[in-house]
Amino acid sequence: MTTREARVLPSKNRSHELWNSSKIPQIRGARYQYPCLAPREFAMKLPFMQTAAYLKDLFDLSGKTAVIIGGTGELCGTMAVGLARAGAEVVLGGRIPEKAEKRLHEIQSHGGRGYFVPVDVTSRESLHSLLETVLDRSGQVDILINGAGTNSPTPFLEITEEEYQKIIDTNLSAIFRACQVFGQYFVDESRTASIINLGSISGLNPLSRVFTYSASKAAVHNLTRNLAREWADKDIRVNTLVPGFFPAEQNRKVLDESRVLDILRQTPASRFGNAEELIGATLLLASTKAGSFITGMEMIVDGGFQAMTI
Protein backbone atom coordinates (compact mmCIF):
# COMPACT_ATOMS: atom_id res chain seq x y z
CA MET A 1 0.00 0.00 0.00
CA THR A 2 1.38 3.42 -0.92
CA THR A 3 1.53 6.46 1.29
CA ARG A 4 -1.01 8.15 -0.96
CA GLU A 5 -3.45 5.26 -0.50
CA ALA A 6 -2.96 5.31 3.27
CA ARG A 7 -4.02 8.95 3.44
CA VAL A 8 -7.41 8.30 1.87
CA LEU A 9 -10.19 8.58 4.44
CA PRO A 10 -11.61 5.06 4.72
CA SER A 11 -15.32 4.57 4.23
CA LYS A 12 -17.20 2.50 6.79
CA ASN A 13 -16.98 -0.66 4.68
CA ARG A 14 -13.22 -0.26 4.08
CA SER A 15 -12.02 0.87 7.53
CA HIS A 16 -11.53 -2.66 8.79
CA GLU A 17 -9.42 -3.47 5.73
CA LEU A 18 -7.25 -0.33 5.80
CA TRP A 19 -6.44 -0.59 9.51
CA ASN A 20 -6.56 -4.36 9.92
CA SER A 21 -3.57 -5.37 12.02
CA SER A 22 -2.52 -7.90 9.42
CA LYS A 23 -1.87 -5.05 6.96
CA ILE A 24 0.19 -2.91 9.31
CA PRO A 25 3.57 -4.34 8.26
CA GLN A 26 2.82 -3.38 4.65
CA ILE A 27 2.30 0.30 5.47
CA ARG A 28 4.67 0.81 8.39
CA GLY A 29 6.63 4.04 8.11
CA ALA A 30 3.97 5.96 6.19
CA ARG A 31 2.74 9.26 7.69
CA TYR A 32 -0.97 8.69 8.04
CA GLN A 33 -3.55 11.42 7.82
CA TYR A 34 -5.81 9.62 10.31
CA PRO A 35 -3.62 7.93 12.92
CA CYS A 36 -6.51 7.94 15.41
CA LEU A 37 -8.04 5.06 13.40
CA ALA A 38 -4.95 2.90 13.84
CA PRO A 39 -4.62 0.33 16.60
CA ARG A 40 -3.39 2.06 19.75
CA GLU A 41 -0.14 0.13 20.01
CA PHE A 42 0.69 1.06 16.42
CA ALA A 43 -0.28 4.71 16.67
CA MET A 44 1.91 5.15 19.74
CA LYS A 45 4.93 4.14 17.66
CA LEU A 46 4.37 6.70 14.92
CA PRO A 47 7.23 9.25 14.75
CA PHE A 48 4.98 12.27 15.22
CA MET A 49 3.37 10.77 18.32
CA GLN A 50 6.55 11.03 20.38
CA THR A 51 5.15 13.33 23.03
CA ALA A 52 8.31 13.64 25.09
CA ALA A 53 10.41 14.66 22.09
CA TYR A 54 7.79 17.17 21.00
CA LEU A 55 7.61 18.85 24.40
CA LYS A 56 11.38 18.88 24.69
CA ASP A 57 11.60 20.63 21.34
CA LEU A 58 9.11 23.26 22.50
CA PHE A 59 10.49 23.96 25.96
CA ASP A 60 14.11 22.81 25.93
CA LEU A 61 16.47 25.48 27.31
CA SER A 62 19.72 23.58 26.82
CA GLY A 63 22.56 25.94 25.95
CA LYS A 64 20.75 28.94 27.46
CA THR A 65 21.88 31.01 30.43
CA ALA A 66 19.26 32.47 32.74
CA VAL A 67 19.99 35.22 35.25
CA ILE A 68 17.44 35.29 38.06
CA ILE A 69 17.66 38.47 40.13
CA GLY A 70 15.96 37.63 43.39
CA GLY A 71 16.81 33.99 42.80
CA THR A 72 17.49 33.39 46.49
CA GLY A 73 13.83 34.09 47.31
CA GLU A 74 11.10 31.48 47.54
CA LEU A 75 9.26 32.14 44.27
CA CYS A 76 12.18 33.03 42.00
CA GLY A 77 14.30 30.28 43.53
CA THR A 78 11.68 27.73 42.59
CA MET A 79 11.43 29.22 39.11
CA ALA A 80 15.22 28.87 38.83
CA VAL A 81 14.95 25.17 39.62
CA GLY A 82 12.41 24.79 36.83
CA LEU A 83 14.65 26.59 34.35
CA ALA A 84 17.60 24.41 35.34
CA ARG A 85 15.57 21.23 34.96
CA ALA A 86 14.62 22.42 31.45
CA GLY A 87 18.34 22.60 30.59
CA ALA A 88 19.35 26.20 31.29
CA GLU A 89 22.39 27.18 33.29
CA VAL A 90 20.99 29.39 36.04
CA VAL A 91 22.63 32.30 37.84
CA LEU A 92 21.10 33.23 41.17
CA GLY A 93 21.48 36.93 41.86
CA GLY A 94 20.80 37.94 45.44
CA ARG A 95 22.15 39.07 48.79
CA ILE A 96 22.31 35.95 50.97
CA PRO A 97 24.84 33.24 49.97
CA GLU A 98 23.38 30.71 52.42
CA LYS A 99 20.00 30.78 50.71
CA ALA A 100 21.65 30.46 47.32
CA GLU A 101 23.69 27.47 48.47
CA LYS A 102 20.58 25.60 49.54
CA ARG A 103 18.85 26.32 46.24
CA LEU A 104 21.91 25.37 44.19
CA HIS A 105 22.10 22.06 46.01
CA GLU A 106 18.51 21.38 44.95
CA ILE A 107 19.33 22.32 41.36
CA GLN A 108 22.34 20.01 41.33
CA SER A 109 20.27 17.16 42.77
CA HIS A 110 18.20 17.31 39.57
CA GLY A 111 21.31 17.31 37.38
CA GLY A 112 21.15 21.04 36.72
CA ARG A 113 23.90 23.65 36.67
CA GLY A 114 24.11 27.03 38.33
CA TYR A 115 26.00 29.43 40.55
CA PHE A 116 25.47 32.43 42.79
CA VAL A 117 26.52 36.02 42.17
CA PRO A 118 25.88 38.64 44.88
CA VAL A 119 24.04 41.71 43.66
CA ASP A 120 22.56 44.89 45.08
CA VAL A 121 19.61 45.81 42.86
CA THR A 122 19.68 49.41 44.07
CA SER A 123 23.17 49.85 42.55
CA ARG A 124 23.74 50.19 38.82
CA GLU A 125 27.42 49.34 39.33
CA SER A 126 26.45 46.10 41.06
CA LEU A 127 24.16 45.16 38.16
CA HIS A 128 26.95 45.85 35.67
CA SER A 129 29.23 43.66 37.77
CA LEU A 130 26.62 40.89 37.71
CA LEU A 131 26.43 41.01 33.92
CA GLU A 132 30.23 41.05 33.53
CA THR A 133 30.62 38.10 35.89
CA VAL A 134 28.07 36.05 34.02
CA LEU A 135 29.64 36.86 30.65
CA ASP A 136 33.06 35.87 31.98
CA ARG A 137 31.82 32.56 33.42
CA SER A 138 29.06 31.59 30.99
CA GLY A 139 29.79 33.62 27.88
CA GLN A 140 26.22 34.78 27.35
CA VAL A 141 22.86 35.72 28.83
CA ASP A 142 19.62 34.63 27.18
CA ILE A 143 17.00 35.00 29.89
CA LEU A 144 16.64 37.68 32.55
CA ILE A 145 14.17 37.42 35.43
CA ASN A 146 13.65 40.47 37.62
CA GLY A 147 12.13 39.21 40.84
CA ALA A 148 13.59 41.20 43.72
CA GLY A 149 10.96 42.91 45.82
CA THR A 150 9.93 44.28 49.18
CA ASN A 151 6.67 45.19 50.88
CA SER A 152 5.29 47.16 53.83
CA PRO A 153 1.93 47.41 55.64
CA THR A 154 2.58 50.96 56.86
CA PRO A 155 -0.58 53.08 56.46
CA PHE A 156 -0.53 55.91 53.92
CA LEU A 157 -0.55 58.77 56.43
CA GLU A 158 2.20 57.15 58.49
CA ILE A 159 4.73 55.98 55.90
CA THR A 160 7.91 58.02 55.76
CA GLU A 161 9.53 59.34 52.62
CA GLU A 162 12.48 57.00 53.22
CA GLU A 163 10.34 53.86 53.50
CA TYR A 164 8.30 54.85 50.46
CA GLN A 165 11.44 55.43 48.37
CA LYS A 166 12.94 52.12 49.49
CA ILE A 167 9.91 50.20 48.20
CA ILE A 168 9.83 52.12 44.92
CA ASP A 169 13.58 51.72 44.45
CA THR A 170 13.57 47.97 45.08
CA ASN A 171 10.39 47.07 43.22
CA LEU A 172 10.46 49.49 40.28
CA SER A 173 13.75 51.34 39.87
CA ALA A 174 15.74 48.12 40.24
CA ILE A 175 13.88 46.61 37.27
CA PHE A 176 14.42 49.82 35.31
CA ARG A 177 18.18 49.57 35.98
CA ALA A 178 18.44 45.85 35.23
CA CYS A 179 16.50 46.18 31.98
CA GLN A 180 18.81 49.01 30.93
CA VAL A 181 22.00 47.13 31.80
CA PHE A 182 21.03 43.77 30.34
CA GLY A 183 18.90 45.27 27.58
CA GLN A 184 21.90 47.21 26.28
CA TYR A 185 23.83 43.94 26.10
CA PHE A 186 20.98 42.19 24.27
CA VAL A 187 20.67 45.04 21.76
CA ASP A 188 24.42 45.49 21.20
CA GLU A 189 24.93 41.76 20.67
CA SER A 190 21.76 41.37 18.54
CA ARG A 191 20.83 38.61 20.95
CA THR A 192 17.45 36.92 21.01
CA ALA A 193 16.33 37.18 24.61
CA SER A 194 13.48 36.91 27.07
CA ILE A 195 12.96 39.27 30.00
CA ILE A 196 10.43 38.26 32.63
CA ASN A 197 9.51 40.92 35.18
CA LEU A 198 7.70 39.82 38.33
CA GLY A 199 4.54 41.84 38.69
CA SER A 200 1.74 41.34 41.18
CA ILE A 201 -1.99 40.84 41.33
CA SER A 202 -2.00 44.16 43.22
CA GLY A 203 -0.43 45.77 40.15
CA LEU A 204 -3.68 45.09 38.28
CA ASN A 205 -6.08 46.31 40.96
CA PRO A 206 -4.97 48.03 44.17
CA LEU A 207 -5.06 45.99 47.36
CA SER A 208 -5.61 47.43 50.80
CA ARG A 209 -2.69 47.78 53.26
CA VAL A 210 -0.01 47.68 50.53
CA PHE A 211 -0.60 50.87 48.56
CA THR A 212 3.09 51.61 47.85
CA TYR A 213 3.71 48.03 46.76
CA SER A 214 0.64 48.16 44.51
CA ALA A 215 1.76 51.43 42.94
CA SER A 216 5.27 50.13 42.30
CA LYS A 217 4.01 46.91 40.71
CA ALA A 218 1.49 48.74 38.52
CA ALA A 219 4.41 50.76 37.19
CA VAL A 220 6.36 47.54 36.53
CA HIS A 221 3.47 46.27 34.41
CA ASN A 222 3.44 49.49 32.41
CA LEU A 223 7.24 49.57 32.00
CA THR A 224 7.15 45.98 30.75
CA ARG A 225 4.63 46.78 28.03
CA ASN A 226 6.68 49.78 26.94
CA LEU A 227 9.86 47.71 26.63
CA ALA A 228 7.99 44.96 24.79
CA ARG A 229 6.91 47.53 22.19
CA GLU A 230 10.40 49.03 21.91
CA TRP A 231 12.30 45.76 21.50
CA ALA A 232 9.88 43.42 19.71
CA ASP A 233 11.58 43.91 16.34
CA LYS A 234 14.92 42.98 17.95
CA ASP A 235 13.65 39.56 19.12
CA ILE A 236 13.79 40.69 22.73
CA ARG A 237 10.56 39.65 24.40
CA VAL A 238 9.49 41.34 27.63
CA ASN A 239 6.61 39.99 29.71
CA THR A 240 5.17 40.29 33.19
CA LEU A 241 4.58 37.19 35.26
CA VAL A 242 1.78 38.03 37.68
CA PRO A 243 1.54 35.78 40.73
CA GLY A 244 -1.59 35.81 42.82
CA PHE A 245 -1.23 34.89 46.48
CA PHE A 246 1.69 32.61 47.21
CA PRO A 247 3.49 31.97 50.51
CA ALA A 248 6.56 34.22 50.38
CA GLU A 249 8.72 36.03 52.88
CA GLN A 250 7.59 39.52 51.93
CA ASN A 251 3.93 38.55 52.40
CA ARG A 252 4.18 37.33 55.97
CA LYS A 253 4.29 40.80 57.46
CA VAL A 254 0.95 41.77 55.88
CA LEU A 255 -0.96 38.49 56.26
CA ASP A 256 -2.96 37.96 59.44
CA GLU A 257 -5.80 35.49 59.91
CA SER A 258 -8.57 37.82 58.74
CA ARG A 259 -6.54 38.81 55.68
CA VAL A 260 -5.97 35.16 54.76
CA LEU A 261 -9.69 34.43 55.03
CA ASP A 262 -10.50 37.41 52.80
CA ILE A 263 -8.04 36.18 50.18
CA LEU A 264 -9.41 32.64 50.19
CA ARG A 265 -12.98 33.93 49.83
CA GLN A 266 -11.89 35.98 46.81
CA THR A 267 -9.95 33.11 45.19
CA PRO A 268 -12.15 30.59 43.32
CA ALA A 269 -9.51 27.89 43.83
CA SER A 270 -9.92 28.48 47.60
CA ARG A 271 -6.23 28.18 48.38
CA PHE A 272 -2.86 29.85 48.06
CA GLY A 273 -0.62 28.93 45.15
CA ASN A 274 2.41 26.68 45.37
CA ALA A 275 5.68 28.10 44.08
CA GLU A 276 6.03 25.14 41.68
CA GLU A 277 2.86 26.34 39.94
CA LEU A 278 4.81 29.27 38.50
CA ILE A 279 7.25 27.02 36.64
CA GLY A 280 5.01 26.24 33.67
CA ALA A 281 4.37 29.92 32.94
CA THR A 282 8.06 30.67 33.41
CA LEU A 283 9.13 28.04 30.88
CA LEU A 284 6.57 29.26 28.35
CA LEU A 285 7.77 32.85 28.59
CA ALA A 286 11.44 31.83 28.60
CA SER A 287 11.27 29.48 25.61
CA THR A 288 12.29 30.94 22.27
CA LYS A 289 10.06 28.41 20.54
CA ALA A 290 6.95 27.89 22.67
CA GLY A 291 6.79 31.58 23.60
CA SER A 292 8.33 33.12 20.49
CA PHE A 293 5.32 35.37 19.69
CA ILE A 294 4.46 36.28 23.27
CA THR A 295 5.57 39.75 24.33
CA GLY A 296 4.01 42.57 26.32
CA MET A 297 1.80 40.06 28.11
CA GLU A 298 0.63 39.95 31.72
CA MET A 299 0.54 36.23 32.49
CA ILE A 300 -1.64 35.82 35.57
CA VAL A 301 -1.22 32.77 37.81
CA ASP A 302 -3.69 33.35 40.62
CA GLY A 303 -6.21 30.55 41.02
CA GLY A 304 -8.91 32.79 39.53
CA PHE A 305 -8.50 35.75 41.93
CA GLN A 306 -8.51 38.34 39.15
CA ALA A 307 -11.62 36.80 37.58
CA MET A 308 -13.66 37.04 40.79
CA THR A 309 -16.21 39.75 41.55
CA ILE A 310 -19.14 38.51 43.66
- For the chain, give the mean pLDDT: 87
Domain match, 179 and 265 both: yes
For residue 45, what pLDDT is reported? 55
Domain match, 44 and 165 both: no
Domain match, 47 and 147 both: no
Handedness of CA 115, 118, 123, 128 (dihedral sign): negative
Say if 13 falls within a structural domain: no
CATH number for the domain that contains residue 84: 3.40.50.720
Domain match, 47 and 189 both: no
In three state form, how does the secondary structure of 115-162 look? Answer: EEEECCCCCHHHHHHHHHHHHHHHCCCCEEEECCCCCCCCCCCCCCHH
Summarised one tens digit per residue, pLDDT across range 201-246 is: 999 998 888 999 999 999 999 999 999 999 999 999 999 999 999 9
Domain count, the chain: 2
8 Å CB contact between 285 and 299? yes
Domain match, 126 and 44 both: no
pLDDT more than 90, % of the chain = 75
Say if 32 falls within a structural domain: yes
Say if 8 falls within a structural domain: no
8 pLDDT more than 90: no
Say if 1 falls within a structural domain: no
Q: How confident is the model at residue 44 (pLDDT cuts 50, 70, 90)?
A: low
Q: How far is CA 300 from CA 7, 242, 265, in A?
A: 42, 5, 18
13 pLDDT more than 50: no
Q: How confident is the model at residue 51 (pLDDT cuts 50, 70, 90)?
A: confident
Domain match, 83 and 131 both: yes
Say if 107 falls within a structural domain: yes
For residue 208, what pLDDT is reported? 87
> Domain boundary at 35, 52, 69, which?
52
Range of the domain at 36: 22-52
Q: How confident is the model at residue 95 (pLDDT cuts 50, 70, 90)?
A: very high
Phi-psi category of 92—alpha, beta or left, where left has phi over 0 and alpha has psi -120 to 50?
A: beta
Say if 6 falls within a structural domain: no
**213 given a catalytic annotation:** yes
8 Å CB contact between 196 and 80? no
Give 29 or 187, the one with higher predicted confidence: 187
Domain match, 35 and 110 both: no
Average pLDDT over residues 88-97: 97
Summarised one tens digit per residue, pLDDT across range 166-179 is: 999 999 999 999 99
Give 20 or 247, the one with higher predicted confidence: 247
